[in-house]
Structure 1
Amino acid sequence: MKHRIVVLGAGYAGAYAAGNLGRRLSPADAEITVVNAEPDFVQRLRLHQFVAGQEIDAPKLADVFAGTGVRLRVGRVTTVDPARRVVAVAGADGEEGELGYDTLVYTLGSRVADHGVPGVAEHAFDVTGRPSALRLRQRLDELEHQAGRGEDRSVLVVGDGLTGIETATEVAESRPGLSVTLVARGELGARLSAGARGHLRRACDRLGITVVEHTVVEAVEPTRVRCADGTFLASDAIVWTAGFAVDPIAAAGGLEVTDDGRIVVDGSMRSVSHPDVYAAGDAAYAIGDNGLPLPMSCASAGYTGMRATDAILRHLTGRKTGHTSLTYHGNHISLGRRDGILQMVDGEGIAKPTFLGGRKAARIKAGILRMSLWTTSHPTFGIPKRQHRLAAPVLTPAEQAAA
């Protein structure tokens, strides 16, 4: 029987892993299936541009995997059962079925984290997925139309992490008829260097963004938020960007996870509790080369996806593969289309004193996004079509333990 590889999620980590495995493993030995909730590749890094009214490319996953032999199953993963080595998938029609696997690659990514704040799920928008970003875009279209008739309309962005900063600046630049407020728990851009913080503040001033600092939001209502000090901030659209969380599917399936639900992996991105499961991207709790956990980011997804792919190839074929370093270099922040910040960090993840800001930083960020799209939507580019047979025999983890 063929070795069944199932990849859950086709974001930056999953699409790369599936395409590479499909290109490098012989179809006579391996069967690769990708499960993804949507038929398209979503550029999550550019969803803030999408909500601002811009169009972004969304390649068809069927085209991404063309010629690799990878099978695409469009559906939502509902459960993972590592004991039986099956996953349950619900299709668009609601019908649920099971997929068996010999090797599972878990790259389901993350979603918005409400941190237990009441009203977030009911009343707030977010930009962590295309469906939620589309709802926000439609709402902003409505507000912009009303603003064009002379009505005052406002947008409130809660959270000044990278997603919040990029969303607030992009909306303010692309939809100047809307007033934008950015709520920061502490000082604006607290994790940036002093120079970068100053650049960010000047960008917000230039774009007319009202910044509310040292403010904790305790509840979200339909047209306002309640702050910890008892004050209220009104808004016609509340955008929640106060962090990310992972789906509880892995924890419910019995995989060893952290308190926040991420799968605990070793240096090869292999689950420490279930060695036939690999995890990459936001869903993996991976330790970087500096001994610190990698942050949830596109860069981390790329590094961990490469590590997982190489480890699977080594295990199945017995061949030597490359070694990908797990080093987080810094943050690349867009401030609209013509401004940005490149903030490098040291070995401890702390911002270095120097930074690059302005148009050059914006062009570099745009180049990084183009490269991320290209490498993910062309996962086999530059890889010789040299398909390897599986080592004989390939033992299951249980068989390896018994041996």
Structure 2
Amino acid sequence: MSTTTAHAIVVLGAGYSGLIATARLARYTRKLNTHITLVNPSPRFVERLRMHQVAAGQELVDYRIPELLAGTGVEFHQAAATAIDTQARAVTLDDGAVLRYDTLVYALGSTTDTSIVPGAAEHAWTLNDPRLAHHFSQRLPELAAAGGTVTVCGGGLTGIEAAAEIAEAYPGLTVDLISAARPGSMMGEQARRHLDRALDRLGVVRTVGVKVTKVLPDAVRLDSGEVVASDLTLWTTGVHVSPLAAQAGIATDPQGRIITDPTLRSVSHPEIHAIGDAALVRQAWGQLHGTCQSGVVTADYTATVIARLLRAKRVKPLRFGYFHQPVSLGRKDAVIQFTGADDTPNRWYLGGRLAVIYKEQVSSTPPVAAKMSRYVKLPVQLSKGGRTTRKTA
């Protein structure tokens, strides 16, 4: 690295992974000759873990990315990336700017995929954008007064949290959770029983063992042929990632995620580091799936790797194991399923008020960790998975 020209690090995306990576990079490289630029379309940090709260009408803390990174020396550039030139090592932005990079951190995350079922894009709402979630919430008071129905499609953690939050906030609504599998199927039996009791208490209707084949303006059609009336439909299933990497000729999987080596560098372009939902990351026990839990860990790990590479030091492969599945069930209840490294449930779970406190700590940590990174390193990894992550894949 030149002693006069700063090593240019560009981070694309300021979700959980991108924000943590940027904050940690600023800390880990502060004694090196680097210039870090964070690129994101909005100056507001979106708490994806809380979008179900926005959909139910709650106001969140307005975290501003430049404020979270104040004093770190990071340059924030408000724009969206439209192209990556891997030969020139340059990123083109939608405001006409072109940013050169020596190291690129690809953290563009994912969104809910509404292209997989006809009518979903036109007639269903998602939690991809806080503005849309807010508009969704504005429809609920009038609908509740009329005894209307909200249909939540997808029985994963996001769908469960959204259904519970809306049902608690608006008891006058009928909330129908439609899922191919039993909600909470990834949990152990005790945690599932707690989940079922909470959903029963909140009056959430569960339609299980079916798939939505079409979303209509006022209904959803199931694979059984049944048409279920729905005044508002919330789509929470399926994942879509940005096509930017594939368009740039970077090696990706069929879903468009960058294929990484054991240190989370692109297998085709090692100057590119991929983290969070945008990366295909394999461990000895299997493949990571998109969660905040794994996203912030890959972010902190990648910041460490980049700093060590700039110092010409050896880097160790990522070792990560899942630890928990935290699920809020409205504002007064939650369930935490503790897991093995591969995210399969173990015998331990936590429910009730203690689980609410636990979940709140989990949801609050990323912006706090980013803001405090310039002062102290706050831990983001609860488990390396023990022996499981040392097995041969």
TM-score normalized by structure 1?
Answer: 0.88
For residues 216 and 60 of structure 1, the distance between their equivalents in structure 2, rounded to whole angstroms, comes to: 39
Equivalent pair of 2:322/2:342 in contact (CA under 8 Å):
no
Give the whole-Å Cα distance in 1 for the aligned partners of 2:269 and 2:278: 15
The alignment partner of 1:352 has SS state of strand
Q: Do the aligned partners of 1:144 and 1:153 also contact (CA within 8 Å) in 2?
A: no
Query: Which of these residues, 282, 296, 302, is aligned with residue 302 of structure 1?
Result: 296
For residue 181 of structure 2, the aligned residue among 171, 179, 186 is 186
Shift of the alpha carbon at 1:197? 1.6
CA distance in 2, matches of 1:367, 1:229: 41
Q: Indicate conservation of the 8 Å contact 2:309/2:315, yes or no.
A: no
State the partner residue of 1:349.
343
What is the CA distance between 1:323 and its match in structure 2? 8.1
Q: 1:287 aligns with which of 267, 282, 285?
A: 282
* Shift of residue 376, structure 1, vs aligned partner: 2.8
**Contact 2:321/2:340, CA 8 A, preserved across alignment:** no
1:232 aligns with 2:227: yes
Using the TM superposition, give the Cα deviation of residue 88 of structure 1 relative to its aligned residue in structure 2, in angstroms. 1.6
Corresponding position of 2:98: 98
Residue 143 of structure 1 corresponds to 140
Partner-residue secondary structure (3-state), 1:96: coil
Partner residue of 1:131? Answer: 131
Q: Distance in 2 between matches of 1:323 and 1:131?
A: 39
How many Å apart are 1:28 and its aligned residue? 7.3
State the SS of the aligned residue for 2:346: coil
The structure 1 residue matched to 2:17, chosen from 13, 16, 21, is 13
Say whether the 8 Å CA contact 1:223–1:235 is kept in structure 2: yes
1:213 and 1:86, CA in 2 relative to 1: closer, same or farther beyond 3 A? same
Contact 1:109–1:281 (8 Å) recurs in 2: yes
CA shift for structure 1 position 30: 1.4
Q: Aligned AA for 2:373?
A: P
Picking from 142, 148, 155, the partner of 2:150 is: 155
- Is 1:43–1:58's contact at 8 Å kept on the other side of the alignment? no
After TM superposition, the structure 1 stretch with the greater mean CA deviation from structure 2, 350-359 or 267-276, is: 350-359
Following the alignment from structure 2 to structure 1, what is the Cα–Cα distance between the partners of residues 71 and 317? 26
Question: Match of 2:255?
Answer: 260
Q: Which amino acid aligns with 2:183?
A: L
Q: Distance in 2 between matches of 1:295 and 1:272?
A: 19
Report Cα offsets for 1:326-357 as digits up to 9, x if no partner. Answer: 11112011101111111122244321233222
Q: Residue 154 of structure 1 aligns to which amino acid in structure 2?
A: T
- 1:201 is aligned to 196
Counterpart of 2:93 in 1: which secondary structure?
strand
Aligned to 1:401: none
Q: 1:110 aligned to 2:104?
A: no
SS at match of 1:182: strand
Which of 78, 81, 88 aligns to 1:77? It is: 81
The one-character-per-residue Cα deviations of 1:112-148 (angstroms, maximum 9, x if unpaired) are: 12352111111111113323323322xxx23313433
Identity score, percent: 37
Distance 1:285 1:335, change over 3 A: same
Deviation at 1:222, TM superposition (A): 1.1
SS at match of 1:326: coil
Q: Is the 8 A contact 1:59 1:377 kept in 2?
A: no
Q: Does the residue aligned with 2:59 lie in a helix, a strand or coil?
A: coil
Matched length: 374
Write out per-residue CA displacement over residues 144-167 of structure 1, whole angstroms, 9 at most, x where no aligned residue.
Answer: 13433xx22211000000000000
Residue 83 of structure 1: how far off its partner (Å): 2.2
Pair 1:250 & 2:245 matched = yes
Cα RMSD over matched residues? 2.0
Cα distance in 1 for residues equivalent to 2:239 and 2:27: 32
3-state DSSP of counterpart to 1:311 = helix
Any stretches of 5+ residues in structure 1 without a counterpart? 385-403
SS at match of 2:282: coil
Corresponding residue SS for 1:260 = coil
Change (3 A) 1:383 1:343: closer
- What's the CA shift string for 1:232-289, capped at 9, x where partnerless? 111111000113221111111111111111111112211111011001111111123x
CA separation in 1, counterparts of 2:256 and 2:317? 27
The ranges of structure 1 where at least 4 consecutive aligned residues each deviate by more than 6 angstroms after the TM superposition are 320-324
Q: TM-score, normalised by structure 2?
A: 0.90
Structure 2 Cα separation of the partners of residues 372 and 62 of structure 1: 15
- Structure 1 contact 287–293 (Cα < 8 Å) conserved: yes
Counterpart among 346, 352, 367 of residue 373 in structure 1: 367
Per-residue deviation, residues 59-99 of structure 1 (Å, max 9, x unmatched):
11111111111111111122222122111211xxxx43321
Give the counterpart letter for 2:194 in structure 1: H
Secondary structure of the residue aligned to 1:211 is: strand
Does 2:45 match 1:50? no
C-alpha displacement of 1:230: 0.8
Show the counterpart of 2:121.
121
Specify which of 320, 327, 332 is matched with residue 326 of structure 2: 332
Query: Is 1:33 aligned to 2:37, yes or no?
Result: yes
